[in-house]
Amino acid sequence: MKLKLASLLPLVLFLAACTTANLSKNIVQESVLLVKNGTFADKVWKEDLVFDKTSWYHELTLQLDVMMAHISPQSAFNFWLSKDELEQMIKCGDARVVMAYSLDTKDIPYSMLYEQLEKNGFTRFELPEFKKHLLQHPDAIQNSFRLYKIFAICKQANDHKPLNMNFPGYSEKLIK
């Protein structure tokens, strides 16, 4: 009897592990992406533009990828902004550059992302000049930046609170 129970134990543990693994097929992962160094006209700088990356997956399929970066007033990456873009960024209490990719299915379309940004008090605006420079950066091809929508978000309040992102079927996530 003890031998039968002992031989069944690995099977029971395996089945329990499979059941636990399938409780949630939707996962959210966080990481960091660095854009290293930059150039503009005759200027070259050694500085990293740090993007906080949050990715929503259904099983192994990426549904939404959002990367956000703060560009400090002293950052050389400000050279990539046109005069108008820089003015818009400066007017904001909390401004961030955003790169977003959505599989654009019914699961998490861009419209849901934009809705979440608005719920957090942000408005969106375009960064055409910054986008041109970013897409010409050597890291752009390696990281498939051309698949991403690139824009800025702005909140008048200077509170720099994390964004509360909440998509149906996924755990709530706070983004710095």
What pLDDT is attached to residue 1?
A: 53
**CA–CA dist 173, 25 (Å, integer):** 16
CB atoms within 10 A of CB 135: 13
Whether 176 shows a pLDDT value over 50: the answer reads yes
CA 10 to each of CA 3, 32, 65: distance values in angstroms, whole numbers, following the listed order: 12, 38, 38
Whether 153 shows a pLDDT value over 90: the answer reads yes
What pLDDT is attached to residue 6?
A: 54
Over the stretch 90-126, which tens digit does the pLDDT of each residue have?
999 999 999 999 987 778 999 999 999 999 999 999 9
| Lowest-confidence segment of 4-8, 27-31, 74-78, 116-120 by average pLDDT | 4-8
Domain assignment present for 130: yes
pLDDT band at 169 (very low <50, low <70, confident <90, very high): very high
Domain assignment present for 72: yes
CB atoms within 10 A of CB 139: 14
Whether 9 shows a pLDDT value over 70: the answer reads no
pTM of the full predicted structure?
0.84
Element (H, E) at 49: strand 43-58
Total domains in the chain come to 1
Over the stretch 61-96, which tens digit does the pLDDT of each residue have?
999 999 999 999 999 999 999 999 999 999 999 999
Domain assignment present for 78: yes
Domain assignment present for 6: no
Whether 8 shows a pLDDT value over 70: the answer reads no
Domain assignment present for 3: no
Place of tokens 């400090």: 72
Look up the domain containing 96 and give its range. 25-167
